Amino acid sequence: MRKNRAPKRPVTPDAKYNSELLSRLINMVMQDGKKSTAQAVVYKALATVTSKIKDSDAIEVFFGAVENIKPQVMVKSRRVGGANYQVPVEVAPDRQVSLAMRWMITFAQNKKGKPMDQALASEIIDAFNNTGSAVKKKDEVHRMAAANKAFAHYRW
């Protein structure tokens, strides 16, 4: 590393639920700087979650979904003596949340023929119930890390 790391910029909480995590989701859903559109999509998805899952708060369901998707360990490529090894490393808490939300959004976008708000709502509900593509992705990442435990001594 040549220079200092860039300082973490504070995230302003969203207007409706006063949640920094939800604000990060809105920023990740946003495309071409259209924040109001992204807010509409996310809030509509949360409204759908509320209507589908009775007697539960949509924001709590969202937090639970993110918690179920967060990866604890992942593999990183490390070159040692001309060979590439997949070395398991622990994931920093901030990166865990970023990966979880990225996977959630990606799998929602891949659901063709569905509006984004409905796709995102179904992905949040699936993740909350420990099913769905994003949870499968987390399990896959954990399996890869477990399979490459033998190379853990190459950690840097």
φ, ψ at 78 (rounded to 5°)? -135, 125
The amino acid that residue 31 corresponds to is Q
The amino acid that residue 86 corresponds to is Q
Comparing CA positions, the residue from 88, 94, 64, 95 lying closest to residue 141 is: 88
> Tell me, what's the pLDDT at 1?
64
DSSP element (H, E) containing 90? strand 83-90
Q: Look up the CATH number of domain 20-154.
A: 1.10.455.10
Find out whether 20 and 11 touch, Cβ atoms under 8 Å: yes
> Tell me, what's the pLDDT at 56?
83
List the domain boundaries for the chain.
20-154
pLDDT, averaged in runs of 10, over the chain (156 residues)? 86 92 95 95 94 88 94 88 86 94 95 94 94 93 87 68
> Tell me, what's the pLDDT at 154?
67
pTM of the model: 0.89
For residue 86, give the 3-state DSSP assignment. Answer: strand
